[in-house]
Amino acid sequence: SQTIHQWPATLVQPVGSPLSLECTVEGTSNPNLYWYRQAAGRGLQLLFYSVGIGQISSEVPQNLSASRPQDRQFILSSKKLLLSDSGFYLCAWSPRGGTDTQYFGPGTRLTVL
Amino acid sequence: EDQVTQSPEALRLQEGESSSLNCSYTVSGLRGLFWYRQDPGKGPEFLFTLYSAGEEKEKERLKATLTKKESFLHITAPKPEDSATYLCAVQGEPGNTGKLIFGQGTTLQVKP
């Protein structure tokens, strides 16, 4: 069966510091990968998606970036965090060429102070 | 613009009191409608995918239905462990991005 991991689970960072969140998927090959952000009291917002290694598409212009160095690894980064980057970050995967259903990871709670 | 609206925002039920959650959507060509359950501090857990009007799916006390404009999540004889936030999302055409448009969710509390 497939499993999706995210770490860290929680993170408290000062404004202006860098960020690196990691997501890995097990038990599948060539998945589509997604990064979402869920702000308090708001719905999930798609940030990035990837259909393959090195292929990243951005949905929302911001100071965040994403990379996919390996087939089942997805990384969310920032060079300098803003207060507005605080939120719950969720990674998701969907099977390539299969159903469009997306399966979410456990999430990372980021607080920028 | 694709849009999803869920109602009510919050719902309190007594154990055993059946009810329905609503998800109204506007999308240019529905590719799929998805229901998720989210517990506090956790990632959304997949419940159902519906693809066409008239389709219904069931899982334990939950039943999801779909029309051309909305979806309902019916909860029959709920138990306290059904307490969670229920999220609805749609995917429109073209589907090559896989982008899901989420509603704000309905927070359900079931009291014993």
Q: Is the pLDDT of residue B2 over 90?
A: no
Q: Cis link prior to A8 (omega < 30° from 0)?
A: yes
Which of A:52-111 have CB within 8 Å of B?
57, 59, 90, 94, 99-107, 109
User: Span B84-97, mean pLDDT?
Assistant: 83
Which residues on B lie below 8 Å from A101 (Cβ)? Answer: 32, 34, 46, 49
Nearest to A102 among B4, B42, B100 (CB): B100
pLDDT digits (tens, 9 = 90+) for B11-67: 999 999 999 999 999 988 888 999 999 999 999 999 999 999 999 999 999 999 999
> Closest partner residue to A106 among B42, B100, B103, by Cβ?
B42
Which residue(s) pair with A69 in the sheet? none
Q: Read off the pLDDT of residues A99-110 as tens digits, 9 standing for 90 and up.
A: 679 999 999 999
DSSP secondary structure of A42-104: S-EEEEEEEEETTEEEESS-SSEEEEEEETTEEEEEESS--GGG-EEEEEEEE-TTS----EE
pLDDT by residue (tens digit) across A39-52? 877 789 999 999 99
- Given A46, A57, A106, which is nearest B100 (Cβ)? A46
Give the model's pLDDT for residue A12: 98
